[in-house]
Structure 1
Amino acid sequence: MPLRDVLLALVVVTIWGINFTVIKLSVTELPPILAAALRFLFAAVPAVFFVPRPKASWTLVVGYGLLMGFALYALLNMSIYLGMPASLSSVVLQVQAIFTILLAFAFLGERPRKLQLVGSAVAFAGIAVIGLARSEGAALFPFLLTIAAAFAWGGANIVSKKAGATNMVAFTVWGNLVAPLPLLLLSLVLDGPQAVLTALSHPTWEVAGIIAFLAYPTTLFGFAVWSGLLQRHPAASVAPFTLLVPVAGMASGMLVLGERVAAIDIAGGVLILFGLALIVMRFPKRA
């Protein structure tokens, strides 16, 4: 990859890491599901008026929006709201790579490589370490919500893969348009109309800045640049950069939020990252 694209990849994964800290800030200022709804509303509008409709079927576009926008961020926002550290969630959510492999095998018939199976086992061992450390307290439920969010992300990856050769920027923007309404309805059910109305009728500059960061640099810019990198370079060259997302996530969580991660969580996180490294690793075949 040329230096320009390497720097772009580094910028994107840094933004995606900081995203977890900003989500934590958003759920302290707004009801958690409403924060996700506003994120995708502004990520879709007004961009949807300038981006042509994707050539993929509407079933796939809606499926992607429900999985990536609605399910993933409803679960992730709620898990962080209920106490999942932003820094740790940036690590745990990366098990979406494992769910993607399993779902690709189940629905697309893609057989994983042996090294991917080994990496999945190592990463799941890391999940088990973190899960056991939280099994006796209320912190287990937010942790399980994060795992469920990772599963939703894996499902969204399968849907986007089934979309085939389509404009992924258009696919993402129009998929974003699907998420705000069901997220808003869920927020009305969980938080109540009064809480939603109060939050919407008293906006602040802090809230506006938080939602703008989540909608534009993180969602629109990040996915647009990432799609371009995947189009110009082999996935094996681009995918390993995602291993840096937890690095940025943990650093921003500690620096901005003052979070402290327990030693057992760090041990589990190291296992997860090592397993993910094995999953994306490829060795050249001998002649």
Structure 2
Amino acid sequence: MNWQDRLIALAIVVAWGFNFVVIKWGVVGVPPFLLGALRFSAAAGIGLLFVRRPALPWRWLLIYGLTMGLGQFACLFSAVKLGMPAGLASIVLQSSAFFTLLIGRLWLHEHFTRWQLGGLIVGGSGLYLIGGLGAAGIPPAGFLLTLCAAGSWAVSNVVVRRIVRAGYKPEMLGLVVWSSLAPILPFFALSALFESSAIHWQQVVSGKSLFAIAYLALIATLFGYGQWSKLLSRHAANVVAPYSLLAPLVGVLSAALVLGERLSFWQLVGGVVLIGGLVVNMLGPRLLALLRRPALGRA
């Protein structure tokens, strides 16, 4: 990967990591379901002008949009609204990688490698530390909703695998943009049912709220997924994917600098263990090869 693509990858990671701070700002003035409706309305309204529809049946766009869009962000936005710290949410959401392994095993009958199983055990230990010993200061409902968001994201990942198995090869940006149509009406319906008394339009159209909506739609969605898909078109997935491990680091640092959040000792330890599980899952064989190389050279 050349230095220009490395900079693009880092820019995406910063955009996705800072996304959690923006969500925290957004739910202050906009109730979670309405925020989701406006985010996907903006992403679809702009994206559909420039992005060609992927060659997929509408049912796959609907299923992906409801899992990735409605399920994930209804839970995540609600979790942050209930007090889930933004930095910690950026860490816990990465557990989607482990849920993806479990759901892939149950739905598609995929098998674990020993590295994936090891990463799953390590990552699960990290979640236990965060939700157990590090539970002080975390609203239980917020923690559970963040796990539900990770689970929904994992389902959407498995949906993509199912789409590929069906013989389709969708471009990621097109899939994200066109599937953004699916959650719009459900989000508006949920907002009308549960948030009508909590909506204050003066706050919704405030500068910070409009910035949050624009950031979530344009930067996190269109820029992030657009550039990420271009990187994947130029480089192997195992070269690009490790950069995503930096997103929770950016999330924690930006939440600390901008929002003044601080992780407790056990939350920090649990976060490190969880990310360590991701490293084992994604990079285990490569790291082992690197460790063995000097030993082989000495031999």
CA shift for structure 1 position 243: 0.8
Distance 1:152 1:257, change over 3 A: same
Q: Work out whether residues 79 and 143 of structure 1, in 8 Å CA contact, stay in contact via their aligned partners in 2.
A: yes
CA drift at 1:208: 1.4
Name 2:179's counterpart in structure 1: 175
The residue type equivalent to 2:184 in the other structure is P
Q: Quick check: 233-242 or 63-72, which moved more?
A: 233-242
Match of 1:191 in 2: 195
- Structure 2 contact 84–138 (Cα < 8 Å) conserved: no
**Does the Cα contact within 8 Å between 2:32 and 2:78 map onto a contact in 1?**
yes
Counterpart amino acid of residue 14 in structure 1:
V
* Native 8 Å contact 2:21 2:251 kept in 1: yes
Could you say if the C-alpha distance between residues 188 and 9 of structure 1 is closer, same or farther in structure 2, counting changes exceeding 3 Å?
A: same
Answer whether contact 1:71 1:149 (CA < 8 A) is retained.
yes
SS at match of 2:48: helix
- Name the SS of the counterpart of 1:49 in structure 2: coil
Deviation at 1:203, TM superposition (A): 1.2
CA 1:8–1:265: 2 relative to 1, 3 Å: same
TM-score by length of 2: 0.90
**Alignment-derived partner of residue 271 in structure 2:** 269
RMSD between aligned residues: 1.9
Moved more, 58-67 or 46-55: 46-55
Q: Which residue of 1 aligns with 2:148?
A: 148
Q: Retained in 2: the 8 A contact 1:134–1:140?
A: no
Name the structure 2 match of 1:161. Answer: 161
Matches within 5 A, 1:1-40: 1-40=1-40
- Structure 2 SS opposite 1:46: helix
> What TM-score comes out, normalization by structure 1 length?
0.93
Cα distance in structure 2, aligned partners of 1:230 and 1:110: 23
- Number of the residue aligned with 1:222: 224
Alignment of 1:1-287 (within 5 A): 1-133=1-133, 139-164=139-164, 165-192=169-196, 194-196=197-199, 198-199=200-201, 203-283=205-285
Q: For 1:9 and 1:145, how far apart are their aligned partners in 2? A: 29
SS, match of residue 163 in structure 1: helix
Deviation at 1:134, TM superposition (A): 5.7
Give structure 1 stretches of 5+ with no counterpart: none
Out of 54-63 and 131-140, give the one that drifted further. 131-140
Deviations 1:135-181 (A, max 9, x none): 67771111011011000001111112223312222111111111121
Q: Which amino acid aligns with 1:38?
A: L
Q: Which runs of 4+ in 1 moved over 6 A?
A: none
Asked if the contact 2:70/2:186 (under 8 Å) is kept, the reply is yes
Equivalent position amino acid for 1:263 in 2: F
| Conserved? CA contact 2:47–2:177, under 8 Å | yes
Cα distance in 1, alignment partners of residues 150 and 32 from structure 2? 18
Summarize the Cα distance change of 1:203–1:280 in structure 2 as closer, same or farther, 3 Å threshold. same
- Whole-angstrom CA distance in 1 between matches of 2:46 and 2:219: 15
Deviations 1:79-98 (A, max 9, x none): 01101100000000001111
